[in-house]
Amino acid sequence: MSKRDLKKYLQTLKKKELEAQVLDLYTRFKDVKVYYDFVFNPKEDKLIDEAKTKIANEYFPVTRRKPKARRSIAQKYIKHFLELGVNPILVADVMWFNIEIAQTFNKEKMLKSDAFYKSMAKSFDEAVKYTMQHGLMSDYKERLVAIYQEAKSQQWSSLHIIEASLDLVD
């Protein structure tokens, strides 16, 4: 069904029928419930804090012994925040936090996995592009430079990718 067809169909419904359908969608589909819960009660700070806690737990676990260090956890949160329409400043904050916590972890463990460095460089590139796209570079430039300096001091194998992303800033 196209958007146009849906619009025509919705115009034929009476208000009570439309309300019933929206309520049915709300109870049947978790994504609809999450969306409406966010729209009517957008506790963005709470969502961001939960995400940062889960991301940090990937690298510095509280309940288990071994860290998993999965970039995918942060990516899921970022994607979810983008779908909900969370404030871009907060989304960018999570993006930069993800890289910072990974660097802190790497500083202690000194990983030898090229995949880790490559994925963090990709996260850096995405964060730079998102920050620039939303005109937030002045807010995050200091963190960006600090992350670059730390990657340089840790001798990341993907430093050339990070430097290419930095060229976009200048």
Summarised one tens digit per residue, pLDDT across range 38-95 is: 888 888 899 999 999 999 999 999 887 888 888 899 999 999 999 998 999 999 999 9
What HEC string does 91-133 produce?
A: HHHHHHHHHHHHHHHHHHHCCCCHHHHHHHHHHHHHHHHHHHH
**Total-model pTM:** 0.83
Summarised one tens digit per residue, pLDDT across range 158-170 is: 999 999 998 888 6
Q: Are 131 and 78 in contact (CB under 8 A)?
A: no
